[in-house]
Amino acid sequence: MLTVVVGAGRSLLGSLSNNLLGAVKTTHEVIPRLHYNSIFSQQQRTFIQMRTNLKVVDNSGAKRVMCIQALKGRRGARLGDTIIASVKEAQPRGKVKKGEVVYGVVVRAAMQRGRCDGSEIKFDDNAVVIVNKQGEPIGTRVFGPVPHELRKKKHLKILTLAEHIA
């Protein structure tokens, strides 16, 4: 699922935190202090880094890969960045086999990314398209939405193969 957030919204957590997170004391019982994670359990969204599992959204034969190294940036990879990955699951008669080390371009990331117009884009999953060393996709189809930020990163071939451009 694609989520686009417009503007810099403010959370209601500041006003609710005093009421929900404090301990209430009565004469006979003590209600234990509730932790922030138990009330608002949402996973921390971070960069795509070493050992991150990613879904493969092309028809190259791989189903799931694990990131070995992000090629640009010390912190990790974001939308449009190239990574080196190891294939963890593959289809039986695909172009890519299990255990191969491949290059991939990140086409969906769960971490938010700001756009020029002030909106932000994030996806529900982390997904990659497998490419060769020259940056050309191995598969002939790309499934699901792909952000138009790939145009700035010079991945035009992926955009032409994509079903939907977000």
Q: What is the pLDDT of residue 4?
A: 60
Would you give the end-to-end CA distance of the chain in angstroms? Answer: 11
8 A C-beta contact, residue 127 and residue 56: yes
Q: What is the pLDDT of residue 22?
A: 44
CB proximity list for 40: less than 8 A, separation 6 or greater:
13
pLDDT along the chain (166 residues), means of 10: 53 41 42 48 72 94 94 85 94 93 94 88 92 93 92 90 89
7: amino acid identity, one letter = G
The two tokens of residue 146 are 């792909």
Tell me the whole-structure pTM to 2 decimals.
0.71
Q: What is the pLDDT of residue 20?
A: 41
